[in-house]
Amino acid sequence: MVAEVLKPNVQELQQDVIDLLEQISLLMNRASTALSSDSAGKKYAEFEQQVRQEVEKVKNLELRMAIVAPMKAGKSTITNAIIGQEILPSRNAAMTTLPTEIIFDAELTEPVLYLSAEVLAVFQETLLLLQNRINEMGIEQAQEKLAQYPHLQHMPKLIQEVGLKSIPEKSEGRKDIILTLTSLNDIVRLCSILEPQADPLQSVMDAPKIYTPFWRSSQGNQQSENLGKLVIVDTPGPNEAGENLRLRGVVEEQLTKSSIVLIVLDFTQLKTEAAEKVKKDVDKVIKLRGKDNLYVLINKVDQRQDCDMSPEQVQQFVAAQFGIGESGDTARVFEISARRAFNSANFLMELQQNPGITIAEMKTAKVLAPDVFGMDWEDELEETTVEKLQGKAEKLWKKSGFDPFLNGAITALIEKAAPRCMESAIKLASGRLLELNNDVQLRSSAINKDEAKLRQEVGALEKDLHSIEECRNQLQEVDIIKASLYQELNEILEKIQQKAQDNLSEYFTAKEAQITAQEYQRADIVQKGGMLTQNFFKWVSKQFSYVQVNTENSNIIEFTSFKEAEYFAEQAIASAKVNVIEPLLESVRKQAKIKIEQARQKITKSLDTKTQPIIERARQRLNENFNVNLSLPTPSLDNETVGTVKVSISQKTKMVDQGYETKEVEYRVFWHWCWLVKKKETIRVKRPDKKEEYYIVSLQEIVNQSNNLIEDTITNIKQEINNYLDEDFKQRVDSFFAQLDSYLNNYRNTLIQAQKDQKIQAEAKEQLVTELNSLKNEASKQIQKAQGYWEYTVELMRIKG
């Protein structure tokens, strides 16, 4: 049946599912109209609206595509080229720290950026913290810390003057959008330098959203229609983090939500010294998202020379280096020129938005002309027409390689996103069909039953409802499972806490600790968290040329100024958080989710065991099939942030040996000219010791303060888990029983309605039974069809991964 009805590809199946859902919606409309005189009519009208909403979801699939890249591989240019104008900011220094969603909307005339209440609250809190920090240290010291970041030099003064008013909820037009996004990204980087223990990225799970029009290629409308369903997620590249930027969590969140991930590689860097670095970056993305959903864009192929790799060799190189595009799967690797694509798209977008504009009036013509006219572009530009330049821009767009890339990416997106969306829609519609079918089947049968029999059935259902309530009151297994789970999680937390304390001590004291890659790969998740990829003292030598380790006590580090000591202490704590504490806390979160999932399954099994006899009893009597599934979401532990601490800095004085100096002295002696002539002699004289102030930081105190951080964070996680177990489990279990009540009450109400139906006139009763039987037959037919679609869609999901 499935093979005969369904189309062979995802796009055609999508249309089939839309047709099915629309038929189900019409059936619900028919049911609500036929039964409008009683309460069932209102229920089926609500079902109709729910199914119509699913139709819209399947029609307008959210095609979510994330783009990541090593720094300066052309990621922003690619995104801007798809949009048709420059919206995402870019500069020579690493730019993106905050994932940004770009949502295409054909109805708009200019782009609009929206920041959610969550994003605004996090950044306002961060700005307040930065204001206090800058006031505390002073503008000069703040700018001194930013000496290596000239693009951030203006920020301290700006934050002092403007503060919380500097972040708008809504930004309209490309200039304001670029300004807002640049400010947000700069605030994150500024925070990582001036207040490294604070991290807004750990608190932001939402992303800024840009709604933008897109330019329509004259090559066809299909791509334009699909672009209207596209969501691009611009994410920080694997190497765009500063020393203290924790991008992993926020990147993982966005990559996981995306159907496919595009990674951009620079063609000119594929076979250089940077190749190994690029491979590490790609491996980071594969570790976060997996290889099956990863597609590769090779940018800057317009710079290819005769001696460079051919497209076939590039394909082989990507397959060998990254394992992507193997076995002739060329649809996973695209060669493009982002510069050509952006220059042509930007020109065509301006032309599209300004009909009748002249070349002299166009801002994009001079940028496009060198690409299409070559060395004589200035002369050619004066002589050409808008129509000719438009034709050149269309040809340049074709040469950019963006058409095959966009069509291929969107096809892949549809193949991955559509089955998931269709499965969800069919599942909801099937549930509503089953309820309609059961209702009308029971009601049509009950109309002709003996009235005493109906009263008996209503009474039996009321007894079932009472049994459900007793079962709920007597259920103790949930408390037992909850107590056992809490004990297991507590043991995990205590083990991790001790492991973190041991690792911190090792991190700050073991000068020669080395770990091989093989050892790291063999380790389990807890062991990996404890393995140090870099030794603290090596990190110190790279970051602080003025650090002096006390020769008598290697746990004491001396500084000549308070400012240097304070900066060192801040960076040391931040380093410990990134390299020791947070990897271990990540292992806590993963283990906790596994244990909680196991507990959920135990509770589900327990509830099923207790309630199954009641459900079976009702099923046998009514010949109905209840399908009640317990759904308990796992708690969200990813937002738990590590706190901040201050390390005390001690001021000391010491006497510094100033060494010796030479001095010429004169004196008389008898044997030198009988005291008549003074004798001259050069002698060494010790200089007086100099009293000097210095500042010390104790590594042991850093360890102690870091341990306090761990204890506080573990305590918070314990409290969060405890709240979940006490509140969410109870809430979801209550929801389970409420759903059972709803099903049993529904059948009781159907029987009560059948009692009322018996009292209507014979002709009306006959007409009602005829309509009910017709609805039952149509619902049964649609249920079979929906089941076939659902099975086929589930199989597609399995194949597509």
Q: Domain for residue 203, yes or no?
A: no
Q: Domain for residue 135, yes or no?
A: no
598: phi then psi, degrees, rounded to nearest 5: -60, -40
103: enclosing H helix or E strand = strand 100-104
User: Where a domain ends, among 400, 416, 436?
Assistant: 400
Structural tokens at position 58: 């399947």
Same domain, 374 and 430: no
Q: Are 284 and 240 in contact (CB under 8 A)?
A: no
Torsion of CA 728, 734, 736, 737, to 10 degrees: 170
Pairing of strands 294-299, 112-114: unpaired
Same domain, 348 and 435: no
Same domain, 417 and 385: no
3-state secondary structure of 273: coil
Same domain, 528 and 547: yes
Q: Domain for residue 493, yes or no?
A: yes
Torsion of CA 502, 507, 511, 512, to 10 degrees: 80
3-state secondary structure of 259: coil
Q: Which residues contact 200 (CB under 8 A, 6 or more apart)?
A: 122, 123, 125, 126, 187, 188, 191
Same domain, 416 and 540: no
Averages of pLDDT over each 10 residues, the chain, 801 residues = 51 87 95 86 91 87 79 80 83 64 83 90 85 85 80 82 75 90 85 75 77 64 55 71 48 72 84 64 68 84 88 84 66 89 91 89 93 91 92 94 83 75 87 87 80 82 85 74 79 78 69 37 40 47 51 65 75 74 74 77 78 76 44 39 51 60 71 67 72 72 77 76 71 75 80 84 84 90 90 75 54
Read off the amino acid at residue 1.
Answer: M
Q: Which residues contact 208 (CB under 8 A, 6 or more apart)?
A: 98, 100, 101, 113, 114, 115, 119, 180, 181, 184
Number of structural domains in the chain = 3
Q: Domain for residue 657, yes or no?
A: no
Same domain, 415 and 555: no
- Chain Cα centroid distance, residue 630: 27
Instruction: Give, in order, the Cα–Cα distances in Å from 500 to each of 318, 568, 579, 629.
Output: 39, 21, 11, 40
Q: Domain for residue 273, yes or no?
A: no
Same domain, 434 and 373: no
- Residue 676: predicted pLDDT: 66
Percent helix, strand and coil across the chain, each rounded to 5? 65, 10, 25
Q: Domain for residue 279, yes or no?
A: no
Q: Domain for residue 249, yes or no?
A: no
- Residue 518: predicted pLDDT: 39
Q: What DSSP string describes 478-523?
A: HHHHHHHHHHHHHHHHHHHHHHHHHHHHHHHH-TT----HHHHHHS
Q: Domain for residue 133, yes or no?
A: no
Same domain, 781 and 643: no
Give the domain range for residue 368. Answer: 342-400
Same domain, 437 and 372: no
- Residue 640: predicted pLDDT: 45
- Residue 792: predicted pLDDT: 83
Q: Are 59 and 777 in contact (CB under 8 A)?
A: no
Same domain, 548 and 437: no
Same domain, 501 and 534: yes
Same domain, 615 and 710: yes
- Residue 114: predicted pLDDT: 94
